[in-house]
Amino acid sequence: MSAIGSLVFCTDCGNLLDSSTGNKNTILVCDCCGAENKDTASKIITTSTKAASFPSLLRQKRSAVQTVERSDMQNEATIAETCPMCGREEVRYSAVQLRSADEGSTIFYTCDCGHK
């Protein structure tokens, strides 16, 4: 029988045996081939890791509070809408969520002439 942590495998067929009791006198019977195996796994396994053990660019960029500048976001697009001030037929628009998530977003139109 081989044990990897708390998992115990049959030595004859490699099937995963029933859960270990941690008692070395216990006999585990394989459901697949019927072989009897002694329980060699330990009852308690404690592992601990540090964030530095698994470095990633995403973890390095993560912080508790994230600040996004409006200038960093590409949130404007153009639409065929007539500006009421200058008559231009294409204006930029952006959608901003000003209220709670179950409310609709607010659309802001901006023309090159400065009219909003």
Q: Which residues are annotated as a binding site?
A: 10, 13, 30, 33, 83, 86, 111, 113
CA pair distance 116, 96, nearest whole angstrom: 14
| Residue 54 C-alpha from the chain's centroid | 15
Work out whether the CA dihedral 109, 111, 113, 114 comes out positive or negative.
positive
Binding-site residue numbers for Zn(2+) are: 10, 13, 30, 33, 83, 86, 111, 113
Nearest alpha-carbon partner for 81 in 35, 36, 104, 115: 115
